[in-house]
């Protein structure tokens, strides 16, 4: 089940309940407006969020708020939003989760979770670690 918080994090009107909904949305394309909502949620600069996506900062700047990103960029945006939603649930709030993102984690080869957000594999590792933390398993 997909967290309802993903809709809030991205400022979406769509009702996202399943992974199929995510696939449909990534195929349609996430808007720049939604990306800016995600950027605001994390407190990232445009440059920081661009480094996590397969698009340049300049491309993002050129897009109007209603323009849609391609499926690859949209999928990465949605993956990061899923991590944000899951992290907020596990830590009981956005602030604690964002703090955790910036500290090295042994289970992630002593890298900060934030440094792995650019990679699908890194995102999966972060979600796995959040699952372990939720169940009280220290890695």
pLDDT averaged over the chain? 95
User: Above pLDDT 70, what percent of the chain?
Assistant: 98
Half-sphere exposure of 131 (CA within 13 A, CB side): 7
Contact indicator for 67, 90 with CB cutoff of 8 Å? no
Confidence at residue 100, expressed as pLDDT on a 0 to 100 scale: 98
User: What's the rounded mean pLDDT across residues 56-73?
Assistant: 98
Q: Tally helices (H) and strands (E) across the chain.
A: 8, 0
Specify the DSSP element, H or E, that contains 15.
none
- Residues of the chain with pLDDT > 90, as a percent, come to 91
What is the model's pLDDT at position 59?
Answer: 97
Which of 77 and 15 is assigned the larger pLDDT?
Answer: 77
Q: How confident is the model at residue 14 (pLDDT cuts 50, 70, 90)?
A: confident
Task: Assign 1 a pLDDT band (cuts: 50, 70, 90).
Answer: low
DSSP code at position 69: P
pLDDT digits 0-9 by tens, 71-92: 999 999 999 999 999 999 999 9
């Amino acid at each position: 089940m997909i967290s309802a918080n993903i809709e809030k994090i991205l400022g979406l009107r769509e009702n996202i309940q399943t992974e199929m909904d995510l696939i449909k949305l990534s195929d349609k394309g996430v808007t720049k407006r939604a990306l800016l909502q995600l950027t605001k949620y994390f407190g990232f600069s445009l440059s920081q969020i661009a480094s996590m996506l397969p698009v340049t900062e300049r491309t993002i700047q050129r897009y109007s708020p209603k323009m849609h990103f391609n499926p690859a960029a949209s999928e990465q945006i949605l993956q990061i939003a899923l991590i944000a939603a899951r992290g907020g649930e596990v830590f009981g709030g956005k602030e604690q989760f964002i703090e955790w993102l910036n500290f090295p984690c042994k289970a992630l080869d002593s890298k900060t979770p934030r440094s792995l957000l650019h990679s699908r594999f890194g995102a999966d590792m972060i979600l796995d670690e959040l699952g372990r933390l939720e169940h009280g398993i220290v890695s």
